Amino acid sequence: MVWNSMLLSQWVMTQQIIGRIGQIPDDTRARIIRQYEVTRTPEGGWAMHGEGGPYVFMTTLGYVALRLLGLAKDHPLVAPARAWLRAQPGGVLAVPSWGKFWLSMVGLYEYEGMNPIPPELFLLPDWVPLQPNNYYCHTRYIYLGIAYLYGRRFRHELGPIRDELRAELYDQPYEQIDFAAHRHDIAPSDLHVRPSLPLRAIYDTLHQYEKRPVKVLRRRALEHCFQRIVYEQEVTRGQGLSPVNGLLDCLALFAEGHPLLEPSLPAMETWKWEDEAEGIRYCGAHSTSWDTAFGMRAMLEAPRAVVETGTASTALVKAYGWLRDAQVQEELPDYARERREPVLGGWCFSDGAHRWAVSDCTAEAMTALLEAHAAPNLLPDGLTRITDERLAQAARFILRRQNADGGFGTYEARRGSLILEYINPSEMYGNCMTERSYTECTASCVGALARFRSRFPTVLRSEIDRALERGVALLRSRQLADGSYLGFWGVNFTYAIFHVVEALGAAGVPESDPAIARAIEWLLGKQKRDGGWGEHWKSAMTDQYVEHPESQAAMTAWALLALLEALPVSHAAIGRGIDCLRAMQQADGQWPRQSQAGVFFSTAMLDYRLYKDYFPAWALARFARLSGSTST
């Protein structure tokens, strides 16, 4: 799952801070530089994602990282980035708050120019909306690390290169810059959510407080935050919830000289991905369980003659065993003290090692396993099957993530009010302050619970009946006037409709139901002349459907999977869509890499590298099964 250069730059800066940048082997350094080469935009900077324009934030961090790696200021990768930064309104002084923070830690910005994130926030009672315990978990743990390092004004001395970088990044002498005057400056290229008036007022109040913080309170807050950082690193086996907060945690451990730093540094390498074509990058997440579950479901959809023979059968058995073993089977110690939810029985997005389990990942994994159990002659007699009790654990895990409105969150049920979005400090991301009832997560959970109920009709029956009733009601309420649904984690309307139609069908809603019929009618109206579907990633940023100029394999598959749930297999639109997928498939069986299909927090587009293959294979398999063909 490919994102952008931010984490790679922060990893390089972390190596510099902890004194290990000189230990990076030459071949590793070359592969890191290769990643910057292949991701640079035509303007000379680095973007939020593979199809976007350059950001001051990404470009500034990339510039600093490349210089720390030893590239000269006139290097062909470096000089154009500096020129682009100098040409932007406000220049580096307008880098968003996360950039101000990272630069401050290495002496390339001053902390008084950063809007405060004091650690005292973590001492507030939970009923206070500003208490980060109410935030979305990724946001909460990122700001936990920032608050600790900001609160102690952590700073690393770069040595001689510091003054060189200061002169290169700014068009005036560093000592003459009034950094405090630029606290609210944000580059237009990077801005997605402008800080609200209430947030600016909070910032201004905290700015005054930071001039004379209460020493006893600050010391207590720092101790509290550090204890929580240690807990996070211990229970995630050094990985952190993600490398975004994991790197910050490593810096906090380094600042304290804590022995947990030594196992945390190699654990951070689990987020690394490298290949010959694109070099080394650090992924915001790994989608191992997610991809395995969908890959299994795609193969299980095929006609029995295909599934039960040859490589498909072997792959399915191996995938089953891997998914079975990836379920979290060890509860977090003292989770309530850290305001964590129980994780027993869940599946993570990745391989499960860091034990941050997710509702829809659990739902899709459980669905894949249940579908494998239903496939005759697939699982060999000697294979250890997942037990009924462990499947019940998964159902309990999902049930705990249901919100009061009937929808489902991801890692947790919602804690804070959506009013928290008015104090979103990230500037570059939207809808990131608290858990929500996500349409796709709700759909995955509804589908999995319905399938569990069908297989185990007496287990958790009353809880599941009630959860399904409320979940289906939430999905109905989310339908827009034109019949479509807004997505959150994929692009966007097409992705959401695929999930909703699948879920309603699993829950027993007939295809003639108005909600399904209207969604199908919307899809039919978006079919392109070549028979495919294509939605542009800008749909996710605007919440308005934006058609892509070209048909996209993944989106065509999403549309077909929904249509095949509700229309006769002989429907003309389905035939045209299948023909489009066939025409797009390459000789080696893959489909071409195309536009971004994943997203989080409105602006962070993601390239799920396997979406383009298993979703089309799934759609073709379903068509083959329903049409009685084995040659599709």
Active site residues: 360
Dig out the tokens for 323 from the structure.
């998914």
* CB-CB contact of 464 with 449 (8 Å): yes
Q: Are 471 and 389 in contact (CB under 8 A)?
A: no
Q: In b/e form, how buried is each residue of 55-83, taking b as 16+ CB within 10 angstroms?
A: bbbbbbbbbbbbbbbebeeeeebbbbbbe
Instruction: Check if the beta carbon of residue 512 is closer than 8 Å to that of residue 560.
Output: no
Spatial separation of the C-alpha atoms in residues 498 and 519, rounded to whole Å? 9
Contact call for residues 137 and 129 (beta carbons, < 8 A)? no
Give me the helix-helix angle, 243-256 and 6-17, nearest 10°: 10
CA distance 450 to 468: 7
Chain-centre distance for alpha carbon 197: 28
Contact residues for 19 (Cβ-Cβ < 8 A; gap 6+): none
**Cα(555)–Cα(545) distance, integer angstroms:** 13
Rounded Cα–Cα distance for residues 625 and 102 (Å): 54
List of residues 6+ apart from 145 with CB closer than 8 A = 229, 245, 248, 249, 251, 252
Answer positive or negative: Cα dihedral of 543, 547, 549, 553: positive
Q: How far apart are CA 551 and CA 530, in angstroms?
A: 8
Q: Where are the alpha helices (DSSP H) in 180-260?
A: 197-211, 215-235, 243-256
Distance (Å, whole) CA 24 – CA 315: 37
* Helices 572-584 & 553-566 angle (0-180, nearest 10): 150
Q: With contact defined as beta carbons under 8 Å apart, do 364 and 376 qualify?
A: no
Collect all residues with Cβ–Cβ distance below 8 Å to 193 and sequence separation of at least 6. Answer: 421, 424, 426, 427, 428, 429, 430
CA distance 274 to 199: 40
Widest distance between CA atoms in the chain: 76
- Look-up: residue for tokens 């292949």? 38
Query: Are 252 and 142 in contact, with CB atoms under 8 Å apart?
Result: no
| Two structure tokens written together for 59 | 């470009």
Tokens of 458: 């007496």
Question: Treating both helix axes as pointing N-terminal to C-terminal, what angle do 97-105 and 6-17 enclose, rounded to 10 degrees?
Answer: 20
CA triplet 454, 441, 528: central angle to 5 degrees? 100
Strands 279-282 and 272-275: antiparallel
